Chain A
């Protein structure tokens, strides 16, 4: 099993196409920028303490067979 790099690249291209259209013709956001105060709160961050979460991930990855898909980026506060 395992997704071949070729299939992955096709999926990536499709995602980028979506991204290109989305980034350049922005539809109306249903959560307005002035309604995103909760996401600016540090407790709603996916990675509030990077040193601590990186360390725990490292502890698990060295003792388990599974690894990957742990990083999370974004969650914009709607600023700028």
Chain B
């Protein structure tokens, strides 16, 4: 089983959709650029264990990242990530049965530094029993204005294959042979970081994403009013549009406080052709103390409006062309409170490790839906009058990082 977006990977960068004119401009700039250089990311290895617990879903697993320079201009990275999912969520309880499943994701990437430009490329592949996703990305990053400004252009391309699990008469889950869909994703991104003063740096990101193909969740269903039937409603298949274009733009400001601490403010605006409008605001504070410790605190507020074709309860069957009841597309707002502690230490006797840290982070997520109801309580309240759904989740991370 899967949540459609579960398998799609975030945080990828891309390229190659540039016109000949643009390509020439870029090449000219790179050839003529002064012979100074930027800096590649540091060599490091991180091992993390993550755990999400909320809404009757438990997801945990490892995440490993290794990054190493090869020569002076190339940095290679590889990562492995797993989600071990145990779900008896409200969606699963309504129209399916609890399940266990593992999603595995692997990625490789390379960053090449030439003068003031960094070229990055990579590939991410994600597999779970009923969803396969492959993403490739390419980006170019350029330092300019005396290294005060960095401009990054990226392109990513994703190819997904969607399957649907059904239970055989023997009780085994396997792919429904009649169900095999595809989804394609394209992303264009532009990022800018700008040093404003000795103590402040600004980041700006814009991303345009287009999705095409099967974009729904094959296990979720819509419900429509059906008085006289058991629960007062009946379930039916979701019908999603097969295209989606999204625009997202965000601003981050990081400020260095004189006693050595950092304050970050972020805002993101999102709007898509499905009618979802979302605002994200986040405040983070980082405070190092006592030589070895760094403490972090964060507060995140998120609010979104529902997709045009979303409804918790449609008045009747086939009410409109597109119908969905995925709570990810409902109107809701959420708060997330996070705190982290990090202990920096040197590993004695192991000379190739320059520094290391042990870290812990907890986040508490509280989601309040405005138009998604707990349909499991239809019997007590009547269809359409059930209490609005609320979700609390605890997210826990523990990880060790080493630099070499």
Contacts and interface: CB of A to CB of B under 8 A. Distances in A.
A and B touch in the complex (CB under 8 A): yes
B51 to A, nearest CB: 10
B5 A62 contact: yes
Interface stretch (B15-23, B176-184, B224-232, B312-320): B15-23
Interface stretch (B161-169, B186-194, B345-353, B382-390): B186-194
A9 B20 CA distance: 12
A49 B42 CA distance: 12
A79 B39 CA distance: 7
A56 B363 contact: yes
Q: Which size bracket describes the interface of B in this complex?
A: 35 or more
A51 B65 contact: yes
Contacts of A16: 22, 25-26, 29, 153
A76 B397 CA distance: 29
Contacts of B19: 9, 13
Interface stretch (B92-100, B233-241, B249-257, B371-379): B249-257
A33 B147 contact: yes
A51 B326 CA distance: 28
B359 A41 contact: no
Contact of B246 (A58, A60, A68, A76): A68
A56 B395 CA distance: 9
A41 B256 contact: yes
Interface string A23-53: 1101111110101101101011010111110
B142 A23 contact: yes
B329 interface: yes
B144 A67 contact: no
B75 interface: no
A29 B148 contact: yes
Interface in B329-372: 329, 334, 336, 338, 340, 342, 359, 361, 363, 365, 367
B13 interface: yes
Contacts of B154: 71
A58 to B, nearest CB: 5
Contact of B10 (A8, A11, A57): A57
A67 B248 contact: yes
- Residue among B141, B146, B338 with most chain A CB within 10 A: B146
B78 interface: no
A9 B15 CA distance: 12
A20 B143 contact: no
Contacts of B270: 65-69
Given A13-B25, A22-B149, A71-B189, A38 B304 contact: no
Contact of A27 (B22, B145, B189, B201): B145
Interface in B132-154: 139, 141-154
B247 A1 contact: yes
9 contacts: A9-B22, A16-B25, A16-B29, A22-B145, A43-B260, A44-B254, A52-B397, A74-B141, A80-B37
